[in-house]
Amino acid sequence: MKIIQIGSFPLNSAQIKGGVEASVYGLALEQNKNHKVIVLDYPRQEISNDKTETIDGIIVRRFKNTRKSNTAALLRIPKYSDIIQNEKPEICHLHTSSLFAFAIYIYLKINKIPTIITIHGLAHIEKQNTWRKNRNIKNLGKYLFQSFIEFLLLSNTKQIIVDTEYVSEAIKTYKKQGKIFKVPDCHVIPQGISSHFFALKDRSIKNRILSVGSISQRKGHLQLIESLDIVIQKNPDIKVDIVGVLSEKHYYNSLIELIEAKKLHKQIYIHPNLSFEKVLSMYEEAEIFVLHSEEESQGIVFCEAMAAGKPIVATNVGGVPYIIKNGRNGFLSNFGDIANFASSIIKILENETVRSEIATKNKSESLIYSWDIIESRILNLYNSILKT
């Protein structure tokens, strides 16, 4: 089968930026074993010219965004349409609910090219949270515009893939609220994780804590540090590594200032933009995994931590409780509940039996996130679409 994946593909597979890149890369890598896969990367300002690359055996077409505005990416759609027409794929697989993705979808629909879309979370929720924190016209405009595009896409799509029941249930609610005029068929298929995580060894170091997530406000690192301050007062021997792609420099500076103000610089370390190999070694060395996120659709890092055999402390938001069952493979607290989050960390650190039982469960239950299993489910969906 010839498949065209359309979505953000990492510029460097050793430093993948975010869940969408990880998903597009992982799926294309698995599909390329038995099918011909071509990836059309979304237009980027980081590259100077259009180019074709072969990355880990995958053909990747990249396109320069000719202007600074993201909406300028729409000017590149004729290039995409030419490639799709020339390649004649059996199916196209789109990723995200951006304006660009919606425009490509309309083109594919008009030309009757079989298509499926993966919605990687609800983007307008993130824009809404940003606006609520900083209520200015710019943020309000971004929130309203993303909401309009996302609801329009959902209303015009016959079938979509979502990563958790959380997104599926939210879409049904939008129909009841009149925000969309029909509900697409939602196929709940989680995003997979790299096979490297299943091969990790347990080299955990006592009192070593790991948090992985982009250095951005949405990941709740400020609240995490407040919780860790409570934990460290009880156990000063703790060492914490906060790892992630540096997305918001001003937020990173706020984290450093808070660490310094609380005199936690000998316990808490922030590592922006580490290589994949280094992150893997940190997973092996961690005793537990923590993330105080404000919003997650699935949270790939939780699945990675499960595969690494780590107990997890997380927030009860979005799709997280569909991945982390409170008291079974980790502990959940409400976002902003600093004391309860700290208490959960202490509970795991001080109880070897709890830590060991959760680690064993997570290791075995994480296998459902293997890309070969995920890809098989997606291929079955492709075949059902092609038969209609």
For residue 324, the enclosing domain spans: 195-368
51 and 159 co-located in one domain: yes
211 and 183 co-located in one domain: no
Place of tokens 């969408």: 20
349 and 234 co-located in one domain: yes
8 and 44 co-located in one domain: yes
207 and 94 co-located in one domain: no
334 and 374 co-located in one domain: no
Q: Which ranges of 190-248 would DSSP assign to H, the alpha helix?
A: 221-234
pLDDT at 132: 86
β 58-62/36-40 pair status: parallel
Whether 2 and 88 have beta carbons less than 8 Å apart is answered as: yes
Q: How far is CA 238 from CA 110, 198, 231, 234, 261, in A?
A: 58, 26, 8, 10, 18
pTM for the full predicted model: 0.91
182 and 204 co-located in one domain: no
In angstroms, the first-to-last Cα distance of the chain is 17
141 and 277 co-located in one domain: no
Q: How many domains does the chain have?
A: 2
Which of 386, 384, 387, 382 is CA-nearest to residue 37? Answer: 382
SS3 state at 312: strand
305 and 374 co-located in one domain: no
222 and 141 co-located in one domain: no
CATH number of the domain within which 11 lies = 3.40.50.2000
Would you give per-residue pLDDT tens digits along the chain (388 residues)?
A: 999 999 999 988 877 888 889 999 999 999 999 999 999 999 998 888 999 999 999 999 999 988 777 788 888 999 999 999 999 999 999 998 889 999 999 999 999 999 999 998 888 888 888 888 888 998 899 899 999 999 999 999 999 999 999 999 999 999 999 999 999 999 999 999 999 999 999 999 999 999 999 999 999 999 999 999 999 999 999 999 999 999 899 999 999 999 999 999 999 999 999 989 999 999 999 999 999 999 898 899 999 999 999 999 999 999 999 999 998 889 999 999 999 999 999 999 999 999 999 999 999 999 999 999 999 999 999 999 998 7
Alpha-carbon distance of 374 to 161, in angstroms, equals 12
151 and 267 co-located in one domain: no
86 and 214 co-located in one domain: no
DSSP 60-104: EEE-B-SSSSGGGGGGGHHHHHHHHHHH--SEEEEES--HHHHHH
